[in-house]
Amino acid sequence: MSSTAFSNGAIFSGDGFVRDAALLVDGDRISAIVPAGDERVRQARQVDLRGQLLLPGFVDVQVNGGGGVLFNDLPSIEGIRRIARAHARFGTTGFLPTLISDDLQVVATAIAAVDAAIAAGEPGVLGIHIEGPYLNEQRKGVHNAAHFLELDREAVALLCSLKRGVTLLTLAPEHAKPQALAQLSAAGVILSAGHTNATATEIETARRHGLRGFTHLFNAMSQLTAREPGAVGAALAEDESYCGIIVDGRHVDPRVLKIALRARRRDRFMLVTDAMPPVGTTARSFQLQGRTISVADGQCVDEQGTLAGTMLDMSLAVRNAIALLGLAPSEAVRMASEYPANFLGLGLSHGRLAPGCRADLLIADSGYNVLETWIGGKRIDV
């Protein structure tokens, strides 16, 4: 099998960029990063970067839809494929199709669809994110509380049923017994607090029983106050849990996110899109479980003005993190690639440009606009 050499550009090293070097790919893996004059480069098939940036592919743990598809409405290989292609054009090479609170039959169908998509080798599918229906009605956001349920034994069995890939579950931990959380965590389900009105003490109890993250930090959760830190305060008071953040300038004021970034270690923050069906289309509205969601001024809202996901893609999230939060470009890129891969337990194979990692690559211009996307060493035609 012949190698492919990516050269004549700037290769992302994690801390910055390396020039006068080439990245070699064999099959679906990165085999080496070598000096540009290395003999292996001359012998390989050439991909001329033309002075552009070579970045690790972005990993998005919260993708409700894209390309005109809402995962809830089309929980199938075809639906996943269409969402994946819409986001690949913006640099997402690994993602979790995200199911909003729904009937358990839809949850079961979605799990089976993701399992089948991974078995079929659909590019970019890493697992599933099940957001609800085990949420708190007081913090429901745009979720339909009619679907909300208690986390019982049958639910635990269903949530542990994915055979291939990662399962991420967003839940309100105050509505779950610690034993159920521990059972899910022991089975490999990644637990994240979201749409929760938990006290800080309840969050700390959940952490001792397997809670590992916070879904769209600040949004749809109990806030930090003087005498009750809430879910937000619990998240900011410790360094180990991962926090997904929506950087669109609307879900959270950028000044608030700057404070959060100063409060705890940076490598536990992840850029997420919380993307909805219009991403990658020109649509101005869509249906969400019988409600009309309008797209205006770059945001998605229902008839009452409640935010309903986003129009974000990962390349825009990176650019926003640089422009709105003042992050160094290298840190913004890592928040979109390395850190979410680590959260999913895939840090040895995804999110970095290093020998042995999957050849999930992006070619981008100096403004971090994605020009080409490669998944598993193959260029994706988008």
Asked if residue 147 lies in contact with residue 102, where contact means CB atoms within 8 angstroms, the answer is yes
What SS3 string covers the chain? CCCEEEECCEEECCCCEECCEEEEEECCEEEEEEECCCHHHHHCEEEECCCCEEEECEEEEEECEECCEECCCCCCHHHHHHHHHHHHCCCEEEEEEEEECCCHHHHHHHHHHHHHHHHCCCCCECEEEEECCCCCHHHCCCCCHHHCCCCCHHHHHHHCCCCCCEEEEEECHHHCCHHHHHHHHHCCCEEEECCECCCHHHHHHHHHCCEEEECCCCCCECCCCCCCCHHHHHHHCCCCCEEEECCCCCCCCHHHHHHHHHHCCHHHEEECCCECCCCCCCCCEEEECCEEEEEECCEEECCCCCEEEECCCHHHHHHHHHHHHCCCHHHHHHHHCHHHHHHCCCCCCCCCCCCCCECCEEEECCCCCEEEEEECCEECCC
Both tokens of 120, joined, read 């079929």
What does the pLDDT read at residue 76?
98
What does the pLDDT read at residue 2?
82
Active-site pick, 60, 115, 248, 274: 274
Residue 215 identity:
T
What does the pLDDT read at residue 1?
54
Count the neighbouring beta carbons within 10 Å of the beta carbon of residue 66: 30
Give, for all 382 residues of the chain, the pLDDT tens digit.
Answer: 589 999 999 999 998 999 999 999 999 999 999 999 999 999 999 999 999 999 999 999 999 999 999 999 999 999 999 999 999 999 999 999 999 999 999 999 999 999 999 999 999 999 999 999 999 999 999 999 999 999 999 999 999 999 999 999 999 999 999 999 999 999 999 999 999 999 999 999 999 999 999 999 999 999 999 999 999 999 999 999 999 999 999 999 999 999 999 999 999 999 999 999 999 999 999 999 999 999 988 899 999 999 999 999 999 999 999 999 999 999 999 999 999 999 999 999 999 999 999 999 999 999 999 999 999 999 998 7
Phi-psi category of residue 54: left, alpha or beta, with phi > 0 → left and psi -120 to 50 → alpha:
beta
Both tokens of 379, joined, read 């260029």
What does the pLDDT read at residue 296?
85
The gap between the terminal CA atoms of the chain, to the nearest Å, is: 26
Residue 378 identity:
K
Asked if residue 170 lies in contact with residue 195, where contact means CB atoms within 8 angstroms, the answer is yes
Both tokens of 245, joined, read 């953040």
What does the pLDDT read at residue 108?
98
Domains annotated on the chain, with CATH? 4-55+356-379 (2.30.40.10), 57-343 (3.20.20.140)
Both tokens of 237, joined, read 């008071």
What does the pLDDT read at residue 196?
98
What does the pLDDT read at residue 317?
98
What does the pLDDT read at residue 232?
98
Both tokens of 53, joined, read 């940036």
Q: 274 an active-site residue?
A: yes
What does the pLDDT read at residue 382?
75
Sign of CA dihedral 135, 138, 141, 147: positive
C-alpha pair distances (Å), 327 with each of 7, 236, 266, 274, 333? 27, 19, 10, 21, 10
Only one residue has tokens 């079961």, namely 108
